[in-house]
Amino acid sequence: DRGTIICWLLGITQRQAALMCRKRKRVPIATGDSRLDLQLATDDGAEQRLATQESAEAIRLTLAGLPEEAAVLLIRRYLDSLTTAELALEYGISEQAIRSRLVRARDRFREFYDARFREP
């Protein structure tokens, strides 16, 4: 079991953001007629903050691309930490129906996230 979907997605997006940061360590700077390479500072704390910010933004954009019902259900389950029993009471449907909706919402989330943020 991968744990909660948010933890799983944060892990993926943090690794992708860190990979992008590493790829951008050397940035060419145009200065007159020549080009210089500027080595960026390697502050791990700053890199981690950037990765976390990029992860949060990727999750926000992915949720925004989902149907509203799916996005709200994922938010209520994983960010608000409601149980499936609590969601069933809130929605007025069975717990099994909530589980089914969560499966479909997670599948949509993964598809949208992969299509938008995964590097080929």
pLDDT in the model for residue 105:
95
Could you tell me which residues come within 8 angstroms of residue 26 by beta carbon, excluding any fewer than 6 positions away?
37, 38, 39, 40
> CA-to-CA distance for 103 and 108, rounded, in angstroms?
9
Q: What is the mean pLDDT of the chain?
A: 76
Tell which wins on pLDDT, 63 or 20: 63
Strands 26-31 and 34-39, by their bridges, are: antiparallel
Does residue 33 sit in helix, strand or coil? Answer: coil
Tell which wins on pLDDT, 76 or 42: 76
Domains in the chain and their CATH numbers?
5-117 (1.10.10.10)
pLDDT tens-digit map of 53-65: 888 888 888 888 9
Q: Are 81 and 49 in contact (CB under 8 A)?
A: no
pLDDT tens-digit map of 40-55: 444 456 677 777 788 8
Tokens of 108: 């949509």
Helix (H) or strand (E) holding 20: helix 5-23
| Verdict on whether the full-model pTM lies above 0.75 | no
